[in-house]
Structure 1
Amino acid sequence: MKQKTRNVLVVGVSPEEFTRVAPFLERSSFDVDRFPSASGAIELISQVPFEVLIVRFPLPDMELEDFLDAVRRDGSPCLRSPLLLLSASAGDREEAERYVGRGANRVLPLEETERAIQREVSALLQVAPRKAARFVAKLEIKLGGAKDMIICQTENISASGMLIKTDRRYDKGTQIAVEFTIGDDPRPIQALAEVVRHTMIGRDQVGGIGVRFLSFTGDSQRRFNAYLEQL
């Protein structure tokens, strides 16, 4: 059975600092999104659930407290996602420790070895939400007066959205009618979703688009959430 791709968000880490984290993430086939600035990541975390967040302290462009407020707000897809702080110096670590239990789960110095970072991320993944599965889905995309119908495979599907494996590209904000079946239930799950991100060649393990659910038809959401709870 193919191993499920785990999605990780890395925030505020410079390209040079990222070299300490990248080998483990690449070797473990993580689906990684990296934002040099925290402000650039805010929109993404409001729409896409990540299983682990790795955040530099201090952040280069905003206060950590403001960033944590955005991550942990009610309704956030990352509300319960484990968060690892990487402190830039020994002095920063003491201050970063104050946020453990207040939005952050663990703190580790940036100069730590790859093995130490691997150990911490692996520990966090044990408590990360794993409500994901793969399905074959039928998509209907309305572009102007025309309709585009495709059959494709989903990746990392969750209660708030999913990654759709496809070589087609649709603009962010494009609305998509989604239909798929779950488990032994022959009744399809029907939902309306919108495109919120595109994968990047050379960075992501799967080519496609990320979407978030806007609404569900009938009792689709109840049945879908009940199924995810069993995973």
Structure 2
Amino acid sequence: MRIASLFNTTLEHIESRRWNPYLGISINNKKFTREYLYDFMAWAAVRTKERVAIVIVDIIQHINNLVFDRSKPISAIDKAFRKAEEVRLLCDQAMSALPPQLSEKIVLLDWTDIVYDPFFCHNLQIFKEEYAENDDFRNALIAITKKNLGSIVSRLDEDAIETLSRYLLNELPELATGFMHDGIHYNLNVYPGRIGSIYSELMCLNFFPRIYSRLYIIGNIASVEAYSEEAPDG
């Protein structure tokens, strides 16, 4: 893997196996090819403290489907799960190409495998309360969503953008604290993009420390912007 940027860690810390890496797969992101998945698994398995997780972010993809595909709610959910099955197949193929001593360190998870943990449940409830009641927080998530959408934002109305911001809202517990699964804290977020910038941008806002103080914090977290060797940044 080619490391483009780091948040809250160093290459030395990663190489010394201080973290448990994980990859959250946005299922419509075309960067998650079988080659990328294989490269991530091979890279992470020899650098993990305990285990490596791959999380297929399936159910909340229906939020994007509601807007971009103009799907009805049931259809949006069905499309999300069908796409997730395609991604799961890519993950299985990449994992099967690894030596057993590496593949045995990797766990493949669905979104529902992490959201019922007490840390996640509590923190999601806090973020949802703040989103409903705190205009500054809600506007910050909408602004980050607009920035991440790029030029396509000009083709969307404010209601659509607010709907899309709820995808980020549902991801925030994982972005802010990592997640627990089977007693392991997965705390190094690896992504082909500047995923850590979302968290660092929120932390710089004067109202966010108060929200952060309400969260259940599992432990330290970090993130890595990482690409396959042959892939361009972006």
Is TM > 0.5 for Structure 1 vs Structure 2?
no
Higher percent of residues as strand = 1
Larger radius of gyration: 1
Flag the structure with more relative contact order, 1 or 2, with Cα contacts below 8 A and sequence separation at least 6. Answer: 2
Q: Tell me the TM-score normalized by structure 1.
A: 0.28
Q: Tell me the TM-score normalized by structure 2.
A: 0.28
